Amino acid sequence: MWQALLQRDRVVVTVGLLAVILLAWGWLLLGAGINVQQMDMGGGQIMLMAPDWTVSYAVLIFLMWAIMMMAMMLPSAAPAILLATALMGQRGGKRLLGPTGLFVLGYLAIWFGFSLVATALQWCLDRAGLLSAGMASSSATLAGILLISAGIYQWTPLKQACLVECRSPFEYLLKYWRQGAFGPMLAGVRHGLFCLGCCWLLMMMLFVGGLMNLLWIAALALLVLIEKLLPTGARVSRWTGLALMVWGAIVLLRL
């Protein structure tokens, strides 16, 4: 009976995750609710202008970041979420979907916190005139520094330690899982912190390629997926770091 219940809940969780991921990507594809203004400069030239910062616009930018993190990070977190569901079943849980939801909520809370910080950073960069209308760095110096910083971080012990935890969540879940109403949420928070430590500088690369550039967003999401799920992920992480450092150096040398 419990095996059938667990199998059913795994199917429900998988379908639910897939639906959320597809909806998030669909929302980004439709422009994330952001209307970039156009100004006619004469002679057939059009200049794009981002809206002025208001409270409502700041909320919209935060939502863009939050939903973008869901689209980019949930695919690579899916194995850990399904493992959490299985773990609850093995430990005799009668209500699997509720605790699974708490695990996902704890995981996403970390990325929503990151989204809040990213929104504040975007506001600062915009006020300093360092962002284009496409929400990409308009400063080659800033782009070069971000690229080199992200490349170096790919080789750091902290990055590699967090990547190990993200790639092998089963032992971590067995060690830190706690019973009770908030046990699953705390486990999700811990897993989210490992993923944040693994990927936060890669997410800063969105300021290089542009927050409105869907191909760039998809490429970063694919890189995260490869790093976390494929057997060669750790090696790809280091090679990517080397490529980012070279790219950043070229950008700076061309100034």
Residue 178: its pLDDT value, please?
Answer: 64
Q: Which residues of the chain have pLDDT under 70?
A: 1-9, 35-50, 88-97, 174-181
Query: Is residue 151 within 8 Å of 70, Cβ to Cβ?
Result: no
Q: In this structure, is residue 39 part of a structural domain?
A: no
State whether residue 92 is helix, strand or coil. coil
What pLDDT, in 10s, does the model give residues 169-223? 777 776 666 666 677 888 889 899 999 999 999 999 999 999 889 999 999 999 9
Q: Which domain holds residue 175?
A: 2-30+46-253
Residue 35: its pLDDT value, please?
Answer: 66
What is the distance between the alpha carbons of residues 54 and 218, in angstroms, rounded to a whole number? 29
Residue 1: its pLDDT value, please?
Answer: 46
Query: CB atoms < 10 A from the CB of 221, how many?
Result: 20
State whether residue 212 is helix, strand or coil. coil
Domain count, the chain: 1
Q: Collect all residues with Cβ–Cβ distance below 8 Å to 131 and sequence separation of at least 6.
A: 50, 122, 125, 137, 138, 207
What is the distance between the alpha carbons of residues 156 and 98, in angstroms, rounded to a whole number? 37
169 phi and psi, to 5 degrees? -75, -15
Q: In this structure, is residue 40 part of a structural domain?
A: no
Quote the strand ranges of the chain, DSSP E. Answer: 37-42, 45-49
Query: Is residue 200 within 8 Å of 122, Cβ to Cβ?
Result: no
Record the tokens describing residue 225, joined without a space: 């997926």
Q: Residue 211: what residue type?
A: L
Q: Residue 207: what residue type?
A: F
pTM of the model: 0.88
Place of tokens 């977190």: 77
Residue 3: its pLDDT value, please?
Answer: 55
Query: What are the DSSP calls for 101-146, one per residue?
Result: HHHHHHHHHHHHHHHHHHHHHHHHHHHTT-B-TTSSB--HHHHHHH
Q: Residue 34: what residue type?
A: I
Q: In this structure, is residue 196 part of a structural domain?
A: yes
Residue 86: its pLDDT value, please?
Answer: 77
Which residues share a beta bridge with 47?
Answer: 39
Record the tokens describing residue 92, joined without a space: 């005799």
Q: In this structure, is residue 36 part of a structural domain?
A: no
Q: In this structure, is residue 223 part of a structural domain?
A: yes
Residue 45: its pLDDT value, please?
Answer: 45
Q: In this structure, is residue 41 part of a structural domain?
A: no
